[in-house]
Chain A
């Protein structure tokens, strides 16, 4: 009989790294989680295998991001370790060594977008996107799903996969009208080449376990079943917890554990969660035990009582309506014609104003997507920062991204765009991310140098 496979854990609390001394993303954040894990003896459980963190290479990061001007400038070791941890666990899962994995790492990543000019919502590098690109490139994984259970909209992950029909991104979060980053509404459904591969489920403040699990059971699980991904990633933010200082939701450790047991993600990656004493030790423990198939029913917060929270009837009703609406969108998604969505244009355009809240500056971006009947197309991003000065000023850049399934026409067109932009004096940097060949180029106007990241 084959031995039951274990759950892989990488616990990387980065005890020597913080954004700043009193920032929520500081050394103390996973201290009590460590205490709880050590004291419970979970690392001794035969069902759990702890792995060391690994440092992600610039090449692995470049598969998912355009760091401006380069990876070294936008990341410190802690970022690379968080991304490397997620990669390492995905490798162990793909090799069949473990059945699933939980990367309890900091800093988080789900607010980091494709172009990285700084820190957004405590994130620089999108750990989940780095894993997705790694799995596609190294193992040829075709279809993936990312389920974001953080209280904040996973706007970074959404932005990276908005035009990618192979990645189903589902985010449920507190309604964007009441919380950072103010996005993630039901009508954000993906671009014309990837309609309904982005799903947003905004939930009203005061949502409790009951509705949380209702959404999971009646909407998310059926969508995953239909999409049939080979690999499911959970952006496991814990700020839906009833004690979280940033969110207004009423989810308990038990709620998180039951949700995890239902979702059964291959890989869970910690995102937000800043109730570092009242939530994280218990929620992390409950999720880990749920992933390992152990009894989590005794893992409760000190002030927990069953039925502690009675959800307002209006909240329940609102959630049910939201679910019904999205069920309908999902059911009719295949009837939507690409031509309908883009009104017969060859390109789809989006103008984006991206706010970097940590250092408080703006990026303006024009996104141009090639709408192709044969493939997911390529993406051109024309980015600049309107009012910033100093070292952040890298001027206007053009970045071209080629999907790994692009057709030869789209690939050729993308390379033409890249070559022409190199001649265009307006761009101080020009980037090429060709995922069909795993080739990533940076061109710097100042000295005319062009280089490739080593893979």
Chain B
């Protein structure tokens, strides 16, 4: 038996899966500032009469980190940057930035050395302002981390209790501004996240659950709860990822589906291509910060069932803000939900109130409530369909750096249009007609997140770089950098090395049982030629565990 729990902003949802069937589901409204209490309530509701010894796995998804950042509740962090020459640095408005001397180039060679005195001055300045958390990030540190390590060593010597995060570990891909964001966020949420993890452990212990515990990542995979403490930012946006995976598990394998999750204020769009959720090519945007966090490609449209409808002149407008409940549920303004009620497409709310709302809106245009409701629904569908088209276009517009990628580009449109969320029922058939897909409405749509969590599998990726001229080897995801053990490696050896690193890492994370196979995402090799002589090779290989879900979920007892 498996447990899936989604800790959201307002409710905690849980499901119990038994033999690939949903045995119990629950939705508990969060007790203010009592995560432990909410978790216990949810567990108790799904575990009635269930022997806890039979629980094999617990998986969580959460938006707590996203919410902390949105509400500005993260801890304050001092930033030490080594940008060197290049693009002029943008402002990091929310942090105290200290730029110090020192620069590394794209091959990891030192261009400008550090100045120890300057580092000491910086430490003093940060101390005077009361900081005890510091993020240290250098440009090209994934190619050479010695500057970051040196700065850390000096800080440790003078301030041994400070929490220090380094760029090459928190953000190992090539993108300095995003690396700064990753490192900053990791540093700012780590302590708080540890207390979140503590509550989870306490809840499970209180109910004698000893099964391994995983947490979902934004890319739709999972990691152990323990590992997540090192990189809490990986868990941001695991909520939308969970909902996409929920759909994946509830629809037949191998299909191409567009997932439309219509909530109160936003509509989230995502894609399942040939049975696999589509990953975003770039990291997620969190607030106003672009990060290196890999995530499923989810497009958020700021309209939903509770959006406000208004007539301006002769024009019907949908506002993205929410002004309370729909009119039919006692709210102040007409909303798309009222329109659905009038058309008999939802059972939600008081139908007299809904008619009143459409009448209020319609009289200015000389339209009957039914005409008005139809117009409102069509407008909402128009807006969503426009965004869907844009999303497909954006996906086709992804850059390509190899000739084979250009020649293999395909145009894809979905077979299924799958509705999730409270507002989906009324809109999905219309959206499906417009996009040429088959409308699908799912059972358990309201707890799709928790179902997504329960079926999610661990994912691991290793990007290995070998520079035989400089005799260097590095792994982007772990921050590992070292001298090359043997002078030369051919393509097969590099690939084998990457695969074994992946397996080693899986073993160290206790997820090797879940790794069925390894797939190669990319393998490039570049001859380094100087003065017409080949002086070395740069290998760049990226491998990952085969993505997937534990099972497809059926309707159970």
Residues of chain A whose beta carbon lies under 8 Å from any beta carbon of chain B: 10-17, 21-22, 26-28, 31-32, 34-36, 38-42, 44, 50-55, 76-78, 81, 245, 277, 281, 285, 289, 294-300, 302, 304
Contacts and interface: CB of A to CB of B under 8 A. Distances in A.
Interface stretch (B64-72, B395-403, B487-495, B498-506): B395-403
Contacts of B409: 52
A299 B86 contact: yes
Most buried by B among A15, A78, A296: A15
A17 B526 CA distance: 11
Interface in B400-450: 400-404, 406-407, 409
A78 B403 contact: yes
A11 B175 contact: no
A187 B374 CA distance: 74
Contacts of A289: 87
Contacts of B531: 245
Contact of B175 (A10, A41, A53): A41
Contacts of B139: 39-40
Contacts of A299: 85-87
Contacts of B524: 15-16, 27
A50 B399 CA distance: 7
Given A39-B175, A40-B176, A55-B407, A297 B402 contact: no
Given A22-B527, A294-B87, A16 B290 contact: no
Interface stretch (B105-113, B314-322, B343-351): B105-113
B532 interface: yes
Contacts of B407: 55, 77
Q: How large is the interface on B (under 10, 10 to 19, 20 to 34, 35 or more residues)?
A: 35 or more
A81 B406 contact: yes
B403 A28 contact: no
A52 B87 contact: no
24 contacts: A15-B526, A16-B402, A22-B533, A28-B526, A31-B538, A35-B174, A38-B173, A39-B176, A41-B87, A42-B87, A44-B175, A44-B178, A44-B282, A51-B397, A52-B396, A53-B399, A53-B406, A76-B403, A78-B403, A281-B106, A285-B87, A294-B87, A294-B88, A302-B105
A426 B524 CA distance: 49
Interface of B: 85-88, 103, 105-107, 111, 139-140, 173-178, 282, 290, 396-404, 406-407, 409, 524, 526-529, 531-534, 538
A53 B178 CA distance: 25
A229 to B, nearest CB: 29
Contacts of B404: 16
Given A14-B402, A31-B526, A285-B87, 14 more contacts: A16-B402, A16-B403, A21-B527, A28-B527, A32-B106, A39-B106, A40-B86, A40-B139, A78-B403, A277-B107, A295-B87, A298-B87, A302-B85, A304-B85
A424 to B, nearest CB: 39
Given A31-B538, A300-B85, A52 B527 contact: no
B403 A27 contact: no
Nearest to B109: A302
A41 B527 contact: no
A18 to B, nearest CB: 8
A419 to B, nearest CB: 38
A302 B111 contact: yes
A17 B406 contact: no
B400 A53 contact: yes
Residue picked from B105, B177, B396, B403, most chain A C-beta under 10 Å: B403
A10 B407 CA distance: 16
Contacts of A21: 527, 529, 534
A50 B527 CA distance: 27
B283 to A, nearest CB: 10
Nearest to B534: A22
A21 B525 CA distance: 11
A32 B86 contact: no
Contacts of A300: 85
A297 B85 CA distance: 9
A36 B106 contact: yes
B403 A52 contact: no
Nearest to B407: A77
A28 B401 contact: no
A399 B103 CA distance: 56
Contacts of A281: 106
A278 to B, nearest CB: 10
A35 B406 contact: no
A287 to B, nearest CB: 13
A131 B528 CA distance: 33
A270 B404 CA distance: 21
